[in-house]
Amino acid sequence: MLSFSILGALEVHTRTGQVDIPGDLQRTLLQVLLVSEGQAVSGETLVEEMWGESTPDNQVNALQAHISRMRRRLKSLEPDRHTSRLTVHPSGYRLAVDESEIDAAQFLGKVHRAEGIVATRPAEAVGLLRSALSMWRGPVFGPLPGGSVCRLASALYDEHRLRASELLFDAELSAGRHASILAELRDAHISNPLRERFCEQLMIALYRSGRQTDALDTYRHMWKRLSEEIGVLPSPSLRSVEHAILSHDPSLTLTSAPTLCRSA
């Protein structure tokens, strides 16, 4: 049985440990097939992803050579497997991978389960989300980002990662752990300065920690950044948090957490 990791540089594991997929073209080929989630990928797409503008003269033969090489490599790693993982179809090439065999699918599954319980069982959701986020080893595909298909998939997984972080902070706030996550929240806000949800969560955590002035300063800096960099005003949601802090709204207290610490 093989397992594949793409939340970071591509890794392939067998029961005995990590194995190498040599060559950038072979690694790119495998990456495209993995992010296609079991759907067939056309030969034209594979050629574009693998070679970009440096397409070989005989691209059909070149692609076939790499397909055959990949098929042999996968077979050598699973000698007891009766059918090839890599098959050809009328619409292209398909890699058979179960959700349990790829880290990205496992990550999304944990996040989805956490979404269903974050409002009612926040402590349990925290465990799921921290486990999910710990699966990330770096940027998707690491130093070999691939072509447009791989880059689009990478951007999508990155968005899911940020969403998981937002859910994590919602759960931590609902569990009353505002003081313990202040450093994490500040890092998330600094790393994603235009993402308003992190700003809201940081403001709430600061306010609950007895730091109303810092919470309002955070809002003012966010307002200035939004205005100067993209020419927009803070969202109604962010403005409502500022108003609640100014008025000491009871909805900011832990017992009324669902009002403002919602999962969007």
- DSSP string for residues in 174-225: HTT-TTTTHHHHHHHHHHSTT-HHHHHHHHHHHHHTT-HHHHHHHHHHHHHH
Predicted local distance difference test score (pLDDT) of residue 262: 52
Number of domains in the chain: 2
Residue 104 within any structural domain of the chain? no
Which of 76, 98, 120 is the last residue in one of the domains? 98
CATH assignment at residue 253: 1.25.40.10
Residue 28 has pLDDT above 80, yes or no: yes
Q: Retrieve residue 200's tokens.
A: 């809201």
Residue 186 within any structural domain of the chain? no
Residue 105 within any structural domain of the chain? no
**Type of residue numbered 63:** L
CATH assignment at residue 37: 1.10.10.10
Q: What is the mean pLDDT of residues 24-51?
A: 95
Residue 55 within any structural domain of the chain? yes
Please, which residues have CB within 8 angstroms of residue 252's CB and are 6 or more apart in sequence? 204, 207, 208, 244, 245, 260
Provide the pLDDT confidence category of residue 55 given band limits of 50, 70 and 90.
confident
Report the predicted TM-score, pTM, of the whole model to 2 decimal places. 0.90
Domain that includes residue 205, residue range = 191-264
Residue 175 within any structural domain of the chain? no
Q: Retrieve residue 43's tokens.
A: 């030969």
Quick one: which of 125, 34, 38, 22 has its CA closest to 72? 22
Residue 261 has pLDDT above 70, yes or no: no
Q: What percent of the chain has pLDDT over 90?
A: 88
Q: What is the mean pLDDT of residues 228-233?
A: 94
Q: What is the mean pLDDT of residues 73-98?
A: 94
Q: What is the mean pLDDT of residues 180-196?
A: 96
Which of 98, 126, 144 is the last residue in one of the domains? 98
